A and B are shown apart, each in its own frame.
Chain A
Amino acid sequence: GAGVSQTPSNKVTEKGKYVELRCDPISGHTALYWYRQSLGQGPEFLIYFQGTGAADDSGLPNDRFFAVRPEGSVSTLKIQRTERGDSAMYLCASSAQTGASGNTIYFGEGSWLTVV
């Protein structure tokens, strides 16, 4: 596609429920990132995929958060037993990782998650 696509754009869920957020990166981009942005703050890194593998998951806050990218394109961020503190915008981004670290990372429009 032309840009990074994220669905749903908005999700309201009850505390304790399971949530999946989907990301479709720019076609041909091998690197994929998930970030979380709380109200009034900058985006915080969660996880990085190079191809199918999670190469850096150092930003995942706890074991309730998990992400997959089984075929090296679409990725799903999964949150178990959601808590009200998980309410935030979840941003997905991708870049053409050719080994040059100067590549630009392009972001999607985000998925707003509200846990009530």
Chain B
Amino acid sequence: AQSVAQPEDQVNVAEGNPLTVKCTYSVSGNPYLFWYVQYPNRGLQFLLKYITGDNLVKGSYGFEAEFNKSQTSFHLKKPSALVSDSALYFCAVRDPMDSSYKLIFGSGTRLLVRP
């Protein structure tokens, strides 16, 4: 069965510094991978996805993620963090063999960017 692990409950970074939020996955075939962000008491907003092709994916708000098949990872990155990036981040995986195309989410990582 597919699964996603986000090993860090919280990531702290100073504004202007680079940030990384980690995600590893387990799926039987080639995965489709997604990142979403959630602000307090709000729904999930789509950031970016990896389907195929270039391992480095660029998304909204200056975020990017790198797909690494050998390490089964899809870490979220941003070169220069903003205080407004503080939120809850979720990694999700979809098994392309699953006919419902549902996403399986990790437990989330809280990002705190301090001024």
Contacts and interface: CB of A to CB of B under 8 A. Distances in A.
B102 A45 contact: yes
Chain B interface secondary structure, helix, strand, loop or mixed? loop
Contact of A106 (B46, B101, B105, B107): B46
A56 B100 contact: yes
Interface stretch (B13-21, B35-43, B67-75, B78-86): B35-43
Interface residues of B, number: 26
27 contacts: A6-B43, A41-B108, A42-B108, A43-B90, A44-B105, A45-B103, A45-B104, A48-B100, A50-B100, A55-B99, A56-B99, A56-B102, A91-B43, A97-B101, A101-B94, A101-B96, A101-B98, A102-B49, A102-B51, A103-B101, A104-B49, A105-B34, A105-B46, A105-B101, A107-B36, A107-B45, A107-B46
Contacts of B98: 101
